Amino acid sequence: MTIAPLAGFSTAVGFRDDPAVSADGGSLQSVWRELRRANAQTGRRAEVETALSAVCRAASADNWDGYGAKAVNFATRRQAERFLDILPATVPAPDIGVDPDGEVSFEWHRAPRLVFSISVGDASELSYAGLFGTATAHGRDQFIDGLPTAVMENLRRLYSEELPRS
């Protein structure tokens, strides 16, 4: 796995540019662009985007690990960017990596037995696994309109005192 550790980042929900967008939609896109610029100015968003670019570039061809790993494709990269866009700013920055199946992974390590990982591929699903002392959690969930409840609950479990409930 290729990993890029990060200190932190902040995000906001994003909108896609579309020529068929109404005037109100265009206004929302302008606000979105300003929010992204503000996030980039803090350096945190830029750091995340740089790390994601680095791991995707390192895994841009099949067999990038010398053991037959699949390359990260364009759709997977876009899904990973979307994941970062909707990850709440209250969540500490993950380590970003690439799995041998070509999915982008986001991992949070608090201690040897306090770990949570999410993998994002090119489909509208994500998979997750966590170790919380002697307890475990794992699953696959839809990744369409926002973060699945199970993902947020497991992140809260990992950072129990630090993340507010929404």
Domain limits, the chain: 2-158
CA-based nearest residue to 166, from 128, 155, 116: 155
- The answer to whether the CB of 120 falls within 8 A of the CB of 83 is yes
At residue 90 the predicted structure's pLDDT band, cuts being 50, 70 and 90, is confident
CA distances from 145 to 13, 28, 55, 60, 69 (A): 10, 17, 25, 27, 30
pLDDT in tens, 120-156: 999 999 999 999 999 999 999 999 989 999 999 999 9
pLDDT in tens, 65-77: 999 999 999 999 9
CA separation for the pair 9, 126 (Å, rounded): 21
